Amino acid sequence: MKKLTTKLVIGSLLVLLFSCSKKSEIENIFITQKNEYWNYKDCDGNHSLYFKFNKDGSHDKYNRYIKEGFTLFNNDGDVISGPRTWSIKNDSTFVWDKGVYKIEVCLKDSIVLSYNRNYENNKKCKVTFKKVLDK
């Protein structure tokens, strides 16, 4: 009986260890370094915004200009954004503010997410992020 209990405890710890490391690995891909940005492209082809996902679970939005480079764009004049959050759930789900996305591809330089558009008869929509380096 004691051997069975020990095996169950060790097995449970191994499962917990591997599931946490997978989540951490995915989170580390999303987290940007000082000179890295994610170029956002939605399923309609719009891609003029850039994002940085931070270790603390927050994110920032940026514009990119020819002369100025990347400039913070969290607030747009009189429109003030609320808390900007992100997280990984169950190793396969990206929670971005109030949106929930399925992680389709998660590589060091590109990420593909998908979600269903309810207002278009649940049309599957893909969002892509391509990593861009600031010079």
Q: What is the pTM of this model?
A: 0.77
% of the chain with per-residue pLDDT over 90: 53
The domains located in the chain, with CATH, are: 2-133 (2.40.128)
Q: Which long-range contacts (CB under 8 A, 24 or more apart) does 86-92 make?
A: 86/30, 86/53, 86/57, 86/58, 86/59, 87/57, 88/23, 88/26, 88/27, 88/30, 91/19, 91/22, 91/23, 91/26
Checking if the pLDDT of 4 tops 60, the result is: no
Q: What is the mean pLDDT of residues 51-66?
A: 93
**Quick one: CA torsion of 21, 23, 24, 25, rounded to 10 degrees?**
90
- Condensed to tens digits (0 to 9), the pLDDT of residues 81-102 reads 678 899 999 989 999 998 999 9
Beta-carbon contacts of 52 under 8 Å, excluding residues fewer than 6 positions away, are: 32, 36, 37, 38, 59, 60, 62
List beta partners, residue 70: 64
Task: Give the angle subtended at the CA of 117 by the CAs of 111 and 120, to the nearest 5°.
Answer: 140
